[in-house]
Structure 1
Amino acid sequence: MSAQQQVITIDDISADNAPAIYVAGGLGQFFEAVKAEVTGEVPDLKTAKGRARIASLAATVSKSKTAVEKPGRDYLKRLKEMPKVVEAELREFVTKMDSLRDATRQPLTDWEAAEQARKDKHVDGIQAIKDLAVFEATPTAAQVADIIAQLELVEISDTWEEFLAEAAQVKDQTLAKLRALLAERTQYEAEQAELIRLRAEAEAQAQRERDAQIVREAEERARREAEQRAQAERDAAAKREAEAKAAADRRELELKLAAEQSERAAAQAAREKIEAEQRAAQQKIDDERRHQQVLEQAEADRAGAVRLAEQERIDSERRQAEAAERARLAEIARANAAADEINRQAVAREADKAHKAKINRAALDAFIAGGMTEECAKQAITLIAQRKIPAIAITY
């Protein structure tokens, strides 16, 4: 039986010679034969042919395992009286074959893992460069300048191996994006600074106008108070003059009455004549008094007209001041509206730029998904956006 097994190969296994093969220790020769075949040479992992040879040897182990296992399984079904012996033998054989396969392929597996780790390191490095141009929020010009300085320090050398060209290209593209963004943010911040300066100037001018208005109002109050004091003095003088005249008239009347009384006592006979003269004198006095009252009423009317005219002049000046204040406030509102419009337009430009960048990014991803390289996809989008491709446009 031993001599028979020595001339039987895996390809010779059949249902006829199965009883002589699937016995305790009967499969060891096939394991040793396969092991000798796959371990008899050491392929070179540094060459694609060597790596392919290792994969082929591992596949040979799997194929040989199947070639021995399948007939054994078929034979086992027919040998219900020996299931434990055959199953144990097959299990041991399969385990050793799997271990042999894994051990045979292990150098290739280790090399592939190391190679993948090396490539992943370069891919991650390139992605890190790209991420420098990605911001969660709009950065300041100083922040962009700092990132540019950091990126310029990234060395592009032979350490990038086969990724050298891609790393150099990505660095240049990222620097170009960051420098364009730096120019935009610098211009935007300059515009904002100018807006702040204009607002400050407008506020300063408004304050100067308010101060001037306060000075004018103070001067006007002082002038009105001086005129009122002067008018009060004139009214007091007129009142004193009227009172003095009334007192003189009363003294004159008293003297006349005394004289009349003396004359009545001296010349009773001429009383009627004297009485007539007295009535005439009294009539004259009454006429003079009424005339004085008319003059005083006319003077009062004239003073009232002057005060009314002065009040109308004051009201006119107040209305002019109010109109000037409304004009000043309207000018400030116009300046603020102009500044707000400039700010709104700047915000709209930023939003439109972000919107277009989002649509261009979606188009770029679609081109790449369709099989184009990233560089070609970017060139295509640029040409379409510049309307250099007839009958094709990007809808924003």
Structure 2
Amino acid sequence: MNAQVNELQVIDQKEIALAFNNDQGIQAIIDNIKAQVNEKFEGVVWDFSKKKDRDTVASLAYKVGRSKTAIDAEGKKLKEQYTVFTKKIDAERKLAREQLEAEQARIRKPLDEWEQAEKDRKQRHVDHIAAIKMPANLCGEWDAASIKDAIQTLESKVIDSSFEDFEQEAKLAKFETLEKLRTALVTREKYEAEQAELERLRKEQQEREQRERDERIAKEAADKARIEAEAKALAEQRRVEREKQEAQEKAEREQREAAEREACLKAEKEAALLREEKLKQQAIEREKQAEIDRQNAIEQERLRIEREQEAKAEADRKAEEARLANVEHMRSINQEILNKLCEIGLDEDQAKAVITAIARNQIPNVSIKY
């Protein structure tokens, strides 16, 4: 760092008073201040992590600010003494304020940027520490397993020099949070153990009530089985008596039915003889009609064959006529082509050879349209 940076002097009141009475006098003072700043400030590499450099830049900007304040104050004094120069002095004051404030901001900019970066750095560490403390505020609603996971996660978290000047605070936050989580874990495990015991007692009560219900149901089932057995024995006795009565009635009914069947068989035999005679007569009549139908079918088949033969002969005749007509048509076209080929210089054999080759598709892309 340049050792002469701190030598920037604040302008005195006499020089300011003279400058207000000369054209461009204040601008000359401003330019002089800027020149001194550029000479002593530009090109210097600052290390704002060092208090000495921060104080040096702040002091330099402060002295520029004092020059601004001195010019403004002297101008205000001269304004009161020289009212005729009020507008000029106000303009010069405004000029000095704007330019020197800009110069002051320019000088402070790297320091302001460093201070903002420092503020951001600290905030990152503060947020990180808040995240370390967060489980202690949330664990009241967690179960024991979740609290154990949080303890294990936090125990594995390394607090080292990456926390910079917040390292001790981060270690304290980790220690305090772990203590709160471990306390919460003890409380939660006790609560869960109590709940488990209550659940065990509830299940024992349910099992006991279930056994009592099962015993009651078993007794009711035994009573029901005894009553059903007694009812079944009574029903069996009544069934035997009813079957005995039904057997007697069945024997009497079978006797009546045997007599009725014998009478029916006699009547059916007589009816069967009548039906047999009738069927014989119907069979004779059916044979006669079948013979008539067979002769009719033979005649119909003979007529159908004659019609088919006549139709086939007619079709063959027409086909032959069409074939002959087509042959004649092709012959006439071939003759016409032959004549044309002979007209253009071919002899008859050559022309016939060409026509034959075309008809046999031996010449590509050439055909005869018949």
Shorter-chain TM-score bucket reads 0.5 to 0.7
Please give the per-residue CA displacement for 1:353-382, whole angstroms capped at 9, x wherever unaligned.
xxxxxxxxxxxxxxxxxxxxxxxxxxxxxx
Q: Which residue of 2 aligns with 1:26?
A: 25
Asked if the contact 1:144/1:178 (under 8 Å) is kept, the reply is: yes
Alpha-carbon distance between aligned partners in 1 of 2:228 and 2:37, rounded to the nearest angstrom: 123
Asked if the contact 1:55/1:105 (under 8 Å) is kept, the reply is: yes
Structure 2 runs not aligned, ≥5 long? 1-9, 231-370
Alpha-carbon distance between aligned partners in 2 of 1:93 and 1:56, rounded to the nearest angstrom: 19
C-alpha displacement of 1:167: 1.5
Alpha-carbon distance between aligned partners in 1 of 2:31 and 2:163, rounded to the nearest angstrom: 45
Supply the RMSD in Å over aligned alpha carbons: 3.1
Give the alignment partner of residue 142 of structure 1, picking from 140, 145, 161: 145
Secondary structure, aligned partner of 1:117: helix
C-alpha displacement of 1:154: 2.3
C-alpha displacement of 1:86: 2.6
5 Å-filtered alignment, 1:281-292, equals none
Secondary structure, aligned partner of 1:82: helix
Alpha-carbon distance between aligned partners in 2 of 1:153 and 1:67, rounded to the nearest angstrom: 61
Alpha-carbon distance between aligned partners in 2 of 1:46 and 1:223, rounded to the nearest angstrom: 102
Q: Which 10-residue stretch deviates more, 58-67 or 79-88?
A: 79-88
Task: Determine if the alignment matches structure 1 residue 46 to structure 2 residue 49.
Answer: yes
Secondary structure, aligned partner of 1:134: helix
- The total of aligned residue pairs comes to 220
Asked if the contact 1:45/1:51 (under 8 Å) is kept, the reply is: yes
Alpha-carbon distance between aligned partners in 1 of 2:49 and 2:35, rounded to the nearest angstrom: 23
Q: Which residue of 2 aligns with 1:236?
A: none
Q: Percent identity?
A: 40
C-alpha displacement of 1:218: 5.7
Q: Which amino acid aligns with 1:130?
A: K
Asked if the contact 1:10/1:64 (under 8 Å) is kept, the reply is: yes
- Determine which structure has more spread, i.e. the larger CA radius of gyration: 2
Task: Determine if the alignment matches structure 1 residue 11 to structure 2 residue 47.
Answer: no
Please give the per-residue CA displacement for 1:184-227, whole angstroms capped at 9, x wherever unaligned.
22232232122112111111111211332344456568889999
Q: Which residue of 2 aligns with 1:187?
A: 190
Structure 1 runs not aligned, ≥5 long? 1-8, 228-396
Return closer, same or farther for 1:20/1:63 CA change in 2, 3 Å cut-off.
closer
Q: Which residue of 2 aligns with 1:35?
A: 34
Alpha-carbon distance between aligned partners in 2 of 1:86 and 1:171, rounded to the nearest angstrom: 63
C-alpha displacement of 1:12: 4.0
Structure 1 length-normalised TM: 0.49
Secondary structure, aligned partner of 1:10: coil
Alpha-carbon distance between aligned partners in 2 of 1:126 and 1:171, rounded to the nearest angstrom: 8
Return closer, same or farther for 1:25/1:189 CA change in 2, 3 Å cut-off.
same
Asked if the contact 1:76/1:86 (under 8 Å) is kept, the reply is: yes
Q: Which residue of 2 aligns with 1:119?
A: 122
Task: Determine if the alignment matches structure 1 residue 204 to structure 2 residue 203.
Answer: no
5 Å-filtered alignment, 1:52-131, equals 52-131=55-134
Structure 2 length-normalised TM: 0.52
Q: Which amino acid aligns with 1:72?
A: G
